Amino acid sequence: MSPDPLAFSLNIFRKRYPTEIEKKIGYLFKQPDLLKTALTHRSAAASQSDSYERMEFLGDAVLDMVVSDYLYNKYPRKPEGDLTKLRSILVNGKTLFEIAKINDLQRFMHVDKSLDLRCNSTLQNLLSCMLESIIGAIYLDSGIEPARKFIKKFIIAPKIKETLLSEYNYKGQLLEYCQKAGFNLPIFKTEKVEGPDHARQYTIAVYINDKLLGRGIGATKRDAEQLAAKMAYIRFTNKNE
């Protein structure tokens, strides 16, 4: 019996409803098999090409590029070293694992039962790799812009503020160090303010127990204070290692 041409034409326009994980990640795949592969660990794959390893490789590169592009444009005054450090925090395995875990992606992972997911290091590796493979799958399905949207929503937006505060709040870290060590609290002094209003440059020094321990130059007082605090904090921590 030949297929009904009318039924075939109607099938083309039939809407495919998103699966639970597609709702979770906010993306409906045009090629659902890509998502299936992205969720399949090699232990549960019929062949190596059916596992997420190749997509993970691609997703890792896409993630690096999108995060690098975001940081480069968002922070035009930050030096290369700071941008590299920020990127490494945003794309490392621990960060990706936390994001996958928060979004309960473990439930959708296809793995062999022999794998012990109670082992935290095993689970961290699997989930971080799977998140990269999902990025790779989205890129293969629709290109860079949907992948960029996913990365910004799930990785950059929830993590960038936390990353900046925890890793770059050297004033806070220096203050905490001084309190624990029994030192006087740091005192920041503005030494110079140069340049026109639209391109100011501040030079700020930090003193602890009347001793100059750091100096920073920045486009804002806050940036200069952070750089001065960073210098002082690194001096203390390196001395005591």
Q: Which of 60, 98, 141, 197 is catalytic?
A: 60
* Whether pLDDT at 211 is above 90: yes
Percent pLDDT > 90 in the chain is 48
> 7 lies in a domain?
no
Domain boundary among 138, 168, 198: 168
Residue 96 shares a structural domain with residue 124: yes
Residue 104 shares a structural domain with residue 198: no
> 161 lies in a domain?
yes
* Whether pLDDT at 6 is above 70: no
Domain boundary among 137, 168, 199: 168
> 11 lies in a domain?
no
Residue 99 shares a structural domain with residue 206: no
* Whether pLDDT at 56 is above 90: yes
- Across 213-230, average pLDDT: 90
Residue 41 shares a structural domain with residue 119: yes
Residue 174 shares a structural domain with residue 134: no
Residue 190 shares a structural domain with residue 106: no
Residue type, 56: E
CATH code for position 97:
1.10.1520.10
Residue-range definition of the domain harbouring residue 226: 170-239
Q: Say what the pLDDT of residue 146 is.
A: 98
Residue 132 catalytic?
A: yes
Residue 147 shares a structural domain with residue 218: no
Domain boundary among 147, 168, 189: 168
More confident residue, 72 or 77: 72
> 3 lies in a domain?
no
> 211 lies in a domain?
yes
Q: Say what the pLDDT of residue 16 is.
A: 65
Residue 156 shares a structural domain with residue 62: yes
Residue 59 shares a structural domain with residue 148: yes
Residue 163 shares a structural domain with residue 66: yes
Least confident of 4-8, 135-139, 185-189, 232-236: 4-8
Q: Which of 56, 132, 141, 225 is catalytic?
A: 132
Q: Say what the pLDDT of residue 47 is.
A: 53
* Whether pLDDT at 241 is above 50: no
- 151-174 tens-digit pLDDT: 999 999 988 877 665 556 788 889
> 9 lies in a domain?
no
Residue 104 shares a structural domain with residue 199: no
Instruction: Pull the structure tokens for residue 167.
Output: 């890793």
* Whether pLDDT at 49 is above 80: no
Residue 201 shares a structural domain with residue 130: no
CATH code for position 220:
3.30.160.20
Question: pTM of the full predicted structure?
Answer: 0.65
> How many domains are there within the chain?
2
> 207 lies in a domain?
yes
